């Protein structure tokens, strides 16, 4: 037998002599192999409408709050229930709009185009209220400034508050409140991200804004003139790196330059699979527990929901895909449960889909999360779905051969094997019926052809999958 490793997912390369694998679905790239992608595990009640915003924010005193928004309300998570903390009268947010959130001291700041910027002081407020009479798509915090982007009719404008005062947007050299129009033919602002410096993503450019004090206050430099953001929701910040979708695929921006991460790997597949009708709903988030940047997107079969995931491991630089129905991605802090409170999750401990040793039950941990199609917050901590890994074509020195046996190298779970065999490139390939493993861990078969593919289907939880051993024999020899 010879060992065939499931390398990185390279869906855009030809099947023949592809150094990676052709499918890695419902799995997470991990080390040299793959581990299962957990399903959604509901942790809250439902919002009134489709989720259009989700964030986890930490105040200066260490308080962590989960905030969400839909077309008419803002909510804060209290245990497993979302409390309506909207201002009196609520809101009217377009179905194409999204809420943007940031934290400024102990203030939760929220914005959506068509609404005045909203403010909620942790420990003081009972509901949101207008911060200022300024409407903007995006808000973020840069050093000691509240920064806004895409102000009402000014789609290229970045505007910031007085230093240490998010309530004052009156232009003044004394308070250092001002604005900058990033004028050019590079399109409108698509997203802003803060921290020690500002990153402003245009449709076809990226600007960096560094604080320099008066008189300029912020100095803006166009650091990329060709690459920009295609969809606002695709921008994900982790530490000093920014991941996003551009017109020609996925990139990572390191504060100075943009680096392609999806070229010749998954870009072509992604654009062919993406629904243009609902593409504005693309949503991204970071999963530091698994070193992942995750995007949820609507595929060609979607009727509005985000029904596919595409995941990038930023340490191994490997990709995978998933099938989960969501409305928006983000992070959430689990509330924690006592043994008595587990009754609200399941009537029987034996029916819990997680071990009692799981950190999920202890609470105070941040998990990759999403709102499901029932408008309920859920963490990716449930029972894994069926994992599928498909090899590229394997052959025996260019000759016709019989594939006699496959032995999956999978730790845990239940595995079945499917194969396809063809004689000529371009022939129609059809996976044969699934074969269960014998007690020795083998899948005996007799598949004849010049080029063979092997797919492993893994159900249940498993530790890792590296590949398989394959027994190929020259045709006609025994």
Residue 359: the pLDDT is 54
Are the C-beta atoms of 310 and 321 separated by less than 8 Å?
yes
- C-alpha distances out from residue 283 to 167, 231, 298, Å: 30, 9, 10
Three-class DSSP category at 18? coil
> CA 86, CA 383: separation in Å to the nearest integer?
35
Which pLDDT belongs to residue 153?
86
The three-class DSSP label of residue 38 is coil
Q: Which domains does the chain have, with CATH numbers?
A: 2-37+386-474 (2.60.120), 40-333 (2.130.10.10)
pTM score, whole prediction: 0.92
Is residue 302 left, alpha or beta, with left meaning phi > 0 and alpha meaning psi from -120 to 50?
beta
Mean pLDDT per 10-residue run, the chain (478 residues)? 94 96 97 96 96 93 92 95 97 95 97 96 96 97 98 94 98 98 97 97 98 97 96 96 98 96 98 97 96 98 96 97 97 61 51 51 73 97 96 91 97 97 94 97 96 97 96 77
């Amino acid at each position: 037998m010879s060992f065939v490793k499931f390398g990185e997912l390279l869906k855009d390369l030809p099947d023949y002599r592809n150094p990676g694998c052709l499918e890695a679905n419902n799995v997470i790239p991990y080390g040299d192999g793959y581990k299962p992608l957990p399903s959604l595990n509901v942790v809250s009640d439902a919002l009134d409408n489709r989720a259009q915003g989700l964030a986890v924010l930490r105040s200066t005193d260490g308080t962590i709050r989960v905030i969400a928004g839909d077309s008419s309300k803002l909510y804060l998570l209290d245990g497993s229930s979302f409390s309506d903390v909207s201002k009196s009268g609520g809101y009217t947010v377009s179905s194409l709009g999204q809420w943007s959130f940031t934290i400024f001291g102990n203030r939760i700041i929220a914005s959506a185009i068509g609404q005045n910027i909203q403010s909620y002081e942790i420990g003081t407020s009972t509901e949101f209220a207008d911060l200022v009479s300024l409407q903007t798509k995006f808000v973020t915090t840069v050093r000691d400034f509240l920064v806004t982007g895409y102000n009402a009719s000014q789609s290229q404008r970045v505007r910031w508050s007085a230093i240490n005062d998010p309530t004052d947007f009156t232009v003044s050299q004394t308070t250092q409140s001002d604005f900058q129009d990033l004028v050019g033919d590079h399109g409108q602002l698509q997203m802003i991200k803060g921290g020690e410096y500002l990153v402003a993503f245009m449709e076809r450019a990226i600007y960096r804004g560094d604080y320099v004090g008066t008189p300029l206050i912020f100095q803006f430099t166009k650091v990329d003139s060709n690459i920009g953001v295609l969809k606002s929701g695709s921008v994900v910040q982790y530490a000093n790196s920014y991941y996003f979708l551009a017109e020609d695929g996925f990139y990572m921006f390191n504060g100075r330059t943009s680096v392609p991460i999806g070229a010749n790997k998954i870009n072509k597949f992604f654009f062919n699979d993406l629904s243009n009708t609902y593409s504005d709903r693309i949503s991204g988030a970071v999963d530091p527990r698994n070193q992942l940047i995750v995007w949820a997107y609507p595929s060609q079969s979607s009727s509005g929901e985000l029904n596919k995931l595409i995941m990038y491991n930023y340490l191994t630089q490997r990709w995978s895909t998933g099938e989960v129905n969501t409305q928006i991605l983000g992070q959430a802090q689990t509330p924690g449960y006592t043994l008595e409170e587990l009754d609200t999750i399941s009537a029987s401990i034996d029916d819990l889909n997680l071990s009692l040793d799981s950190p999920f039950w202890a609470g105070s941990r941040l998990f990759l999360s999403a709102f499901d199609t029932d408008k309920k917050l859920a963490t990716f901590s449930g029972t894994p779905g069926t994992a599928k890994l498909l090899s590229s074509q394997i052959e025996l020195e260019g000759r016709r051969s019989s594939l006699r046996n496959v032995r999956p190298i999978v730790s845990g779970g239940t595995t079945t094997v499917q194969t396809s065999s063809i004689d000529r490139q371009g022939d129609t390939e059809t996976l044969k019926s699934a074969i269960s493993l014998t007690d020795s861990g083998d899948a005996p078969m007799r598949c004849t052809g010049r080029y063979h593919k092997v797919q492993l289907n893994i159900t249940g939880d498993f530790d890792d999958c590296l590949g398989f051993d394959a027994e190929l024999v020259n045709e006609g020899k025994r």
